[in-house]
Amino acid sequence: MSRRRPVDPTAPERRPLLGGGAFGLFGEVLVVGLGVSVLSLPVVTLLPAMAAGVAHVRRHLGDEPDAVADLGRLFLRAVRGVWAVALGVTVLLGLLWVDLRLAASGAVPGGAAVLAVSALVAVALLVVLLRAAGAWRDGERWADVLRAGARRAGDDLTGSALLVLALAMCALFTWMLAPLAVLVPGLLALAVVAVEHRRAARS
Q: What is the pLDDT of residue 15?
A: 43
- Mean pLDDT, contiguous 10-residue spans, the chain (203 residues): 46 43 75 94 93 94 84 94 92 90 78 84 95 93 94 94 96 91 93 93 80
Asked, for residue 119, whether it belongs to a domain, the answer is yes
Cα–Cα dist 200/63, whole Å: 19
In a domain, 198, yes or no: yes
- Please indicate, yes or no, if residue 19 is contained in any of the structural domains: no
Instruction: Determine the pLDDT at residue 23.
Output: 61
Flag whether 2 is in a domain: no
Task: Tell me if 11 is assigned to some domain.
Answer: no
Count structural domains, the chain: 1
Q: Rounded to whole angstroms, how far apart are CA atoms 117 and 171?
A: 19
Instruction: Tell whether 18 is covered by a domain.
Output: no
80 occurs within a structural domain:
yes
Asked whether 145 and 136 are in contact (CB, 8 A), the reply is: yes
Distance separating the N- and C-terminal Cα atoms of the chain = 45
Which one, of 198, 175, 173, lies nearest residue 184 by Cα? 173
Residue 90 included in any domain: yes
With the C-alpha atoms ordered 70, 34, 50, 46, is the resulting torsion angle positive or negative? negative
Domain containing 39 equals 26-202
The DSSP symbol for 22 reads S
